[in-house]
């Protein structure tokens, strides 16, 4: 009939075990975001990457988000091509050629926005290769 005080320990008292931590909230799993940025922020940054003059924002602010960085590098290359095309539009001899280059660059920008909205990493022809070779 000897009972120990420790045998009758109430269940609500700590037993030395580490309690289970709460499950992470939906959408906050490690695979859903990288570098502290959510997927929605990455998509918004990817869209901004294809808008002239705004393409530098995701490049500088989202260094750890691979999706945003991918689109930002292509967007910067497109921006440089568009600037080059605009500079050469002054010369009347090359007007037709550089207008075509500008139209293609704008079309690629629209295609980049389209694929960014879908959450896809589509490598643009020529521009994607230039972006990979650059050290942006």
Give percent of the chain above pLDDT 90.
Answer: 12
Q: Which residue has the tokens 């490598």?
A: 123
Residue 6 DSSP label: G
Distance between CA atoms of residues 69 and 72, nearest Å: 5
pTM across the whole model: 0.51
Q: Would 8 be classed as within a structural domain? A: no
Q: How far apart are the first and last CA of the chain?
A: 78
Within a domain: residue 11?
A: no
Residue 67 belongs to what domain range? 37-133
Please, which residues bridge with residue 37 across strands? Answer: 34
- Judged by DSSP in three states, 37 sits in strand
Distance from C-alpha of 123 to C-alpha of 108, rounded to nearest angstrom: 10
Considering the domain boundaries, does residue 41 fall inside one? yes
The reply to whether 14 falls in a domain is no
Domain count, the chain: 1
Quick one: angle between helices 66-88 and 95-118, nearest 10? 160
- pLDDT (average), residues 85-95: 70
Confidence of residue 16 (pLDDT cuts 50, 70, 90): low
**Is 115 a member of any domain?**
yes
Report how far residue 76's alpha carbon sits from residue 83's, in angstroms, rounded to the nearest whole number: 10
Assess if residue 56 is contained within a domain: yes
- C-alpha span between 21 and 29 (Å, rounded): 15
What's the per-residue H, E or C state across 78-128? Answer: HHHHHHHHHHHCCCCCCHHHHHHHHHHHHHHHHHHHHHHHHCCCCCCCCHH
Mean pLDDT, residues 101-120 taken together: 90
Does 22 map to a domain?
Answer: no
On whether residue 1 sits in a domain, the answer given is: no
90: pLDDT confidence band, cut at 50, 70 and 90?
Answer: low
């Amino acid at each position: 009939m000897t009972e120990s005080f420790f045998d009758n320990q109430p269940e609500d008292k700590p037993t030395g075990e580490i309690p289970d931590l709460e499950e992470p909230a939906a959408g906050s799993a490690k695979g859903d975001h990288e570098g502290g940025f959510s997927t929605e922020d990455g998509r918004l940054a990817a869209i901004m990457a294809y808008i002239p003059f705004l393409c530098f924002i995701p490049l500088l602010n989202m260094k750890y988000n691979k999706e945003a960085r991918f689109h930002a590098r292509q967007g910067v290359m497109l921006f440089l091509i568009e600037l080059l095309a605009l500079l050469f539009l002054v010369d009347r001899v090359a007007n037709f050629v550089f207008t075509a280059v500008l139209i293609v660059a704008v079309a690629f920008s629209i295609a980049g926005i389209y694929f960014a909205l879908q959450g896809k990493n589509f490598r643009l022809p020529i521009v994607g290769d230039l972006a990979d070779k650059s050290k942006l």
